[in-house]
């Protein structure tokens, strides 16, 4: 088994990507990559890692960060996970850009009322950040809670997608370079 790795610069810091064949199996910011990589080892056991460019993903991420928040939906993903996690992740993908929902609402939507904390845990186990938009899930009291990438990134992503007032001037956001590394 070979997983290919790529790295990209974004306005929020570098992200790393892992692919198995044509599907993304991991995507996270550098500072949280070790957690995602441990999950990949649990999922795949021993694997060979190879560096590879991913121009298609680079172009899609660029479009997302340049203002096309729905661009990420076209990426092929395979997050693995338990049946419960997959149900949560599928529900997250149905939340349109520019909208948020509550952990409890996700629990009800997947037929597990009262499982808001378990939904939060599934969000925390999400191996494909941004594409599975766990940043769109907020606390039942409306607070921004529970994003493994940090609340500042969650706030920025939601503002970028139009769900919150802009966290910084638009000129700052659009001036940040984006490149594959």
DSSP string, the chain: -EEEEEEEE-TT--EEEEEETTEEEEEEEGGGHHHHHHHHHHHH-S-EEEE---HHHHHHHHHHHTT-GGGGGGS-B-----HHHHHHHHHHHTSPTT--EEHHHHHHHTT-TT-HHHHHHHHHT-SBTTTS-GGGEE-TTS-----TT-HHHHHHHHHHTTSS--SS-HHHHHHS--EE-
Joined tokens for residue 124: 């925390």
Answer yes or no: 123 catalytic: no
**Catalytic residues, which ones?**
134
């Amino acid at each position: 088994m070979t997983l290919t790795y790529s790295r990209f610069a974004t306005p929020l810091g570098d992200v790393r990507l892992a692919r198995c064949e044509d599907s993304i199996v991991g995507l996270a910011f550098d500072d949280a990559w070790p957690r995602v990589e441990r999950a990949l080892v649990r999922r795949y056991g021993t694997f060979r890692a190879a560096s590879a460019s991913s121009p298609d993903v680079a172009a899609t991420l660029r479009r997302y960060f340049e203002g096309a928040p729905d661009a990420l939906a076209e990426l092929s993903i395979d997050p693995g996970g338990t049946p419960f996690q997959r149900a949560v992740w599928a529900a997250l993908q149905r939340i349109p850009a520019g909208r948020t929902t509550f952990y409890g609402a996700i629990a009800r939507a997947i037929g597990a009322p009262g499982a808001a904390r378990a939904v939060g845990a599934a969000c925390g186990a999400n191996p494909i950040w941004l594409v599975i938009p766990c940043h769109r899930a907020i606390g039942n009291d409306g607070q921004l809670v529970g994003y493994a990438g940090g609340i500042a990134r969650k706030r920025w992503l939601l503002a970028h997608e139009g769900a919150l007032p802009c966290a910084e001037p638009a000129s700052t956001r659009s001036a940040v370079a984006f490149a594959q590394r």
